[in-house]
Amino acid sequence: MLLLIAEDFIKVEKISTVLPYYEELVEKTRQEPGCISYELTKDLKNEGHFIFLERWVNEDALTFHTKTEHFKRLVPLIDQHISEKAKYTRMEIIY
């Protein structure tokens, strides 16, 4: 099983613009085959810091996700409002 931790850093003044994109991304991604869970969290100390906690059955499921219509459409819209480059950490769940 694969865990992806994806960190986004959004300009504070653009959070209200980005939230509907996030909502659609989460809703549609949770319906994808191979998605075990897909949660968006926000940092309580840094208002523009968001973390996706994603569980996938395997790397192929994650690759499929990055090729979906909603991912290819929404991520560039979100990325227009970043304050710093996103960070990604791939982890293997062992227990």
CATH of the domain at 66: 3.30.70.100
* Mean pLDDT score across all residues of the chain: 97
Kindly report the pTM of this predicted structure: 0.94
pLDDT single digits (tens) 42-81: 999 999 999 999 999 999 999 999 999 999 999 999 999 9
67 within some domain: yes
Domain housing 45 = 2-90
CB 71 within 8 A of CB 29: yes
| Residue (of 92, 77, 82) closest to 9 by Cα position | 82
Q: Could you give the number of structural domains in the chain?
A: 1
Query: Euclidean distance between the first and final Cα of the chain, in Å?
Result: 9
